[in-house]
Amino acid sequence: MHAVLESSQFILGKTVERFEARFAEYCESPYAIGVNSGTSALHLALLAAGVGAGDEVITVPFTFIATVAAIRYAGATPVFVDIDPRTFTMDARGLEAAVTPKTRAILPVHLYGQPAHMDPIVDFARTRGLVVIEDAAQAHGARYRGRRVGSIGGLACFSFYPSKNLGACGEGGAVVTSNPEFARKIRMLRDWGQESKYRHVLPGFNYRLEALQGAALGVKLPYLDGWNARRAMAAECYSKFLEGSEVRAPELARDRTHVFHVYAVRCQNRGSLQSRLASEGIQTGIHYPVPVHLTPAHADLGYSAGDFPESERAASEVLSLPMFPELSEVQIRTVADAVRAAAGVAEPELCGIEA
Ligand SMILES: *Cc1c(COP(=O)(O)O)cnc(C)c1O
């Protein structure tokens, strides 16, 4: 970061290129293009895939709003399919009913850090000539059947928002792809559609990654696998301590690794559990309380309550417990005990053997 300040090369440049090369290698894919947010990454991936006005893109309603916003930036219409309640990710069985002659791309989300079940999605896309774009904003480093997320679809989008598993010291994002033509187009689109200085061949954007962010990300990247492993250990610990309690721990699909951007349990009495935990100084979150098809911002799509029952049920049941790599076992135990106590489940009693 000091070298960036010394050089005054604040936007793109060598520092960003070095990070892009390392991040592509990390994702086991040939190209990574740094941009200024995960949302911009999604927008440019859609444009590179040829998505535009009049097209449809199939995605899930149980996601962060940015997934859907990006589809609309591209001028396309989001078409939703429901989630698999076990993994909170796209249920490929919904694709057949959602596809139309206008469909151009499928955008599964690796929600909470667990990859979507990609093989049936990729197979379906192949037979229909559709592009698969992974929303990997929560899943840096996760694997699906041995493959890193980012290397499975035609394009994949990452966010480096500070709270993500790999976070910048500000905003940042990247598109990862194995397709050189997509990579070339995205590199131009992020910088005013320039092929070379002032030769604007595409209607582009100011979506460039800052060099200070590239520098910070480059320093942090070697720690990512270690941090992800700590998150997974913390998750395992939570799930063990929560056994027999009223909340349901997340399910792990055996053919995937989960990097636990979020550790979300399901519970029936979320409001009271959340306030009990808050009263004991334990902060929790809800990712996300309203599925996108029911948000006022996208009411014009014409969906209504009951259209995607699994997404709606998840939105009303999930509660995210504290999750970060530095969590200690004592902290995890404290949270788990508070969850059990709040639900009226007694802590295991001492046996009363005298000293
Ligand atoms: C964070 C996130 C985004 C958007 O990333 P930003 O960098 O905040 O623009 C998109 N999709 C999902 C699933 C996210 O979690």
Q: What is the pLDDT of residues 248-279, one digit of tens each?
A: 999 999 999 999 999 999 999 999 999 999 99
Phi, psi of 157 (to 5 degrees): -120, 135
Q: Is 161 in the pocket of ligand 1 (CB under 6 A)?
A: yes
Say if residue 346's pLDDT is above 70.
no
Say if residue 225's pLDDT is above 70.
yes
* 82/222 Cα distance (integer angstroms): 36
How large is the average pLDDT for residues 170-196? 97
- The whole-number pLDDT of residue 347 equals 57
Residues 6+ apart with CB under 8 A from 240: none
CA 317 to chain centre: 19
What is the pLDDT confidence band of residue 352, given thresholds at 50, 70 and 90? low
C-alpha count within 13 angstroms, C-beta hemisphere, residue 115: 27
Q: pLDDT of 112-160, one tens digit each? A: 999 999 999 999 999 999 999 999 999 999 999 999 999 999 999 999 9
Q: pLDDT of 206-221, one tens digit each? A: 999 999 999 999 999 9
Q: Is 67 in the pocket of ligand 1 (CB under 6 A)?
A: yes
Let me know if 197 is exposed, middle or buried by CB neighbors in 10 A (0-12, 13-18, 19+): exposed
The pLDDT > 90 percentage for the chain reads 96
* 117/119 Cα distance (integer angstroms): 6
C-alpha of residue 335 to centroid of ligand 1, in Å: 27
pTM, two decimal places: 0.96
Q: Is 62 in the pocket of ligand 1 (CB under 6 A)?
A: no
Closest ligand 1 atom to the C-alpha of 172? 7
Residues 6+ apart with CB under 8 A from 350: none
Q: Is 44 in the pocket of ligand 1 (CB under 6 A)?
A: no
Strand partners, 80: 59
Q: Is 63 in the pocket of ligand 1 (CB under 6 A)?
A: yes
Closest ligand 1 atom to the C-alpha of 171? 7
Q: Is 159 in the pocket of ligand 1 (CB under 6 A)?
A: yes
What is the pLDDT confidence band of residue 342, given thresholds at 50, 70 and 90? confident
Q: Is 113 in the pocket of ligand 1 (CB under 6 A)?
A: no
Q: Are 158 and 173 in contact (CB under 8 A)?
A: yes
- The whole-number pLDDT of residue 206 equals 98
Q: Is 125 in the pocket of ligand 1 (CB under 6 A)?
A: no
Q: Are strands 318-321 and 263-266 parallel, antiparallel or unpaired?
A: antiparallel
Q: Which residue in the block uniquely carries the two structure tokens 């910088």?
A: 191
Average predicted confidence (pLDDT) for the chain: 96
* 237/176 Cα distance (integer angstroms): 33
Please state, in angstroms and as integers, the Cα–Cα distance from residue 98 to each residue in 29, 57, 91, 94, 308, following that order: 30, 10, 12, 6, 12
* 22/17 Cα distance (integer angstroms): 9
Q: Is 135 in the pocket of ligand 1 (CB under 6 A)?
A: yes
- The whole-number pLDDT of residue 149 equals 98
C-alpha of residue 134 to centroid of ligand 1, in Å: 12
Closest ligand 1 atom to the C-alpha of 159? 7
Closest ligand 1 atom to the C-alpha of 37? 7
- The whole-number pLDDT of residue 325 equals 97
* 44/185 Cα distance (integer angstroms): 9
Q: Is 87 in the pocket of ligand 1 (CB under 6 A)?
A: no
The residue among 327, 326, 292, 298 whose CA lies nearest residue 311 is: 292
